[in-house]
Amino acid sequence: ILKEMEDTILLYPSPGRGHLVSMVELAKRILTHHPSFSVTIIISEAPYETGSTAPYIAAVSSTTPSITFYHLPTVSLPTKNTSFSIMDIHTLSFEWHTINNPNYHQALISISRSANIKAVIMDFFCNYSFDVSTSLGILTYYYITGGLTAFTAFLYFPTLHKSLTRNFKDLDEVINIPGMPPILAKNMPAPMLDRSKTIYQYFLETALQMPKSAGIVVNSIETLEERALKAILNGDCTPGEPAPAIYCLGPLVATEGSVEGGTKHECLTWLDSQPSRSVVFLSFGSLGKFSAEQLKEMAIGLEKSGVRFLWVVRAPPPVESVAATTEPSLESLLPEGFLERNRDRGLVLKGWAPQVEVLSHDSVGGFITHCGWNSMLESMRAGVPMLGWALYAEQNIYQLAMEELKVGLALRKREDGSSLTTNSSSCPSFTMKLNAQVTVKNTKFGHFKFQNSTATFTHGGTSVGEATIVKARAQARSTTKPNVT
């Protein structure tokens, strides 16, 4: 007797931890809508440092048995280099999936022997694996871990490429893109700045291919990024081509306790002893790093501000080709005596924090973030005002969106691209006065209930503005879902 084969949806994330967490949340959302399905997540080991994902995968496997992880065999990179810039990582992310294509193909064949593959949803960095699944007749969707606003710039990229002859990096103009605020050409996402770079070509090819897929699943909510959605659906971002099919399934945000499982992190115990809404949290995504000099300046700024803080610090990127032999200690990265002097009001963590839990903790009143979309959604959900310090990828765009949505303020950059430095000689400081005025109200943001709170940010003794935060304790449901049946 033949056993009826189970229906499964395959998810193929890019190795970065932020991408994996977001895909797992997508898997949970799919299972909510299609409880009879299973979800298989195909994992390739990251070829660069992105923090261990093994404990996280183990926690998900034990709490959600309908999610299966399929590990591709380990392959090695053609290069022995292990210290990559963010741009290298983006380039490598595309190439990594090409290298993995034979194993990925094998995985699809093997999974299809025991399950009915209804669709593949793959990260946009997997663009060069598109043909692997479509050639097997599998319905293939893309997944954008970011939101719609930056996606308009991405979709419009081929049009800009055709109409301009110079590199964005050499232009002093403001670029108008349908669906998003005007942006300085130089602030476009780094991979789009220079035509001579390989990553530029990869982005261009991906932007042209994505609208031809079965659809694009986005971690957003129609009502949060209404303008961007309208522009895409009107075809304004893809002139001369049909508008792509868009499915807003967000907000896909990990819930407290779902990220690591297990024991309570020391920083949460520390937060328990701090006053309500008094702590500023500083964390810069899965890849954000600062120079040694900038780290010290930030430390001086934090110390002078008198504000309580919880700060995730990473070692600076290696200088030139000097490979670090040992991981530097926190003491060596921060000004002498800093940890000891600030012991009562600050905690510094090396490398990683349980961010979702931290942002949801009552003692946290402000978030200094690199404007990664997941970080922004997590902060909005927890009702924490943000100070945006865009570092890489499409974060300049989200920094603009952050101000438009009135959920945070953007730091103004200095000429050399650095921000928030104390410039030791004059030593101005920055402060965040956090003040929660909580009123619940319904807004146009549909499924959300908002609470308002305000934060005043001061830099160098001068107020740089006041941010109103919308507190979105999400009861969020998606209103559109992929027509996978």
**How many C-beta atoms surround the C-beta of residue 442 within 10 A?**
10
In the region spanning residues 264 to 303, those forming contacts with ligand UDP, defined by CB under 6 A, are 283, 285-287
Total residues contacting ligand UDP (rule CB under 6 A)? 18
Shorter beta-carbon distance to ligand UDP: residue 107 or 359? 359
Residues 176, 219 contacting (CB under 8 angstroms): no
What does the angle CA 277 – CA 278 – CA 281 come to, to the nearest 5 degrees? Answer: 90
Given 218, 279, 312, 476, the residue binding ligand UDP (CB under 6 A)? 312
* Distance of closest approach, residue 58 Cβ to ligand UDP, in angstroms: 16
Using CB under 6 A as the binding rule, whether residue 348 contacts ligand UDP is answered as no
Shorter beta-carbon distance to ligand UDP: residue 199 or 287? 287
Shorter beta-carbon distance to ligand UDP: residue 256 or 403? 256
CA distances from 14 to 60, 144, 299 (A): 17, 11, 33
Residues 13, 123 contacting (CB under 8 angstroms): yes
Shorter beta-carbon distance to ligand UDP: residue 8 or 378? 378
Residue 289: name the closest of 261, 328, 259 by CA. Answer: 328
Shorter beta-carbon distance to ligand UDP: residue 45 or 260? 260
Given 348, 353, 368, 382, the residue binding ligand UDP (CB under 6 A)? 353
Residue 300: name the closest of 344, 364, 367, 346 by CA. Answer: 346
Using CB under 6 A as the binding rule, whether residue 56 contacts ligand UDP is answered as no
Question: How far apart are the C-alpha atoms of 459 and 369, rounded to whole Å?
Answer: 16
Question: How far apart are the C-alpha atoms of 346 and 357, rounded to whole Å?
Answer: 17
Residues 103, 73 contacting (CB under 8 angstroms): yes
Using CB under 6 A as the binding rule, whether residue 21 contacts ligand UDP is answered as yes
Shorter beta-carbon distance to ligand UDP: residue 13 or 372? 372
* Distance of closest approach, residue 391 Cβ to ligand UDP, in angstroms: 8
Q: Which residue is listed with tokens 């999610």?
A: 67
Shorter beta-carbon distance to ligand UDP: residue 297 or 378? 378
What does the angle CA 170 – CA 173 – CA 178 come to, to the nearest 5 degrees? Answer: 120
Residues 373, 146 contacting (CB under 8 angstroms): yes
Please enumerate in sequence order all residues whose Cβ is within 8 A of that of 169, keeping only pairs 6 or more positions apart, or say none.
185, 186, 193, 194
Chain centroid offset of residue 475 CA: 21
- The DSSP 8-state label assigned to residue 457 in this structure reads E
Using CB under 6 A as the binding rule, whether residue 17 contacts ligand UDP is answered as yes
Question: How far apart are the C-alpha atoms of 73 and 365, rounded to whole Å?
Answer: 44
- Using CB atoms, what's the residue nearest to ligand UDP? 372
Q: What is the dihedral of CA 299, 302, 303, 308, to 10 degrees?
A: -130
Shorter beta-carbon distance to ligand UDP: residue 285 or 388? 285
Shorter beta-carbon distance to ligand UDP: residue 53 or 278? 53
* Distance of closest approach, residue 352 Cβ to ligand UDP, in angstroms: 4
* Distance of closest approach, residue 15 Cβ to ligand UDP, in angstroms: 12
* Distance of closest approach, residue 60 Cβ to ligand UDP, in angstroms: 14
Using CB under 6 A as the binding rule, whether residue 374 contacts ligand UDP is answered as yes
Span of 16-24, 164-172, 409-417, 424-432 interacting with ligand UDP by CB under 6 A? 16-24
In the region spanning residues 378 to 407, those forming contacts with ligand UDP, defined by CB under 6 A, are 378
- The DSSP 8-state label assigned to residue 170 in this structure reads G
Span of 119-127, 267-275, 368-376, 422-430 interacting with ligand UDP by CB under 6 A? 368-376
Using CB under 6 A as the binding rule, whether residue 375 contacts ligand UDP is answered as yes
Using CB under 6 A as the binding rule, whether residue 352 contacts ligand UDP is answered as yes
Shorter beta-carbon distance to ligand UDP: residue 371 or 432? 371
* Distance of closest approach, residue 17 Cβ to ligand UDP, in angstroms: 6
Using CB under 6 A as the binding rule, whether residue 372 contacts ligand UDP is answered as yes
Question: How far apart are the C-alpha atoms of 271 and 255, rounded to whole Å?
Answer: 18
Using CB under 6 A as the binding rule, whether residue 356 contacts ligand UDP is answered as yes
Q: Looking at the chain, how many residues does it have?
A: 485
356-367 in b/e burial notation, b at 16+ Cβ within 10 A?
A: bbbbbbebbbbb
| Positions in the binding site for ligand UDP (CB under 6 A) | 16-18, 21, 283, 285-287, 312, 352-353, 355-356, 372-375, 378
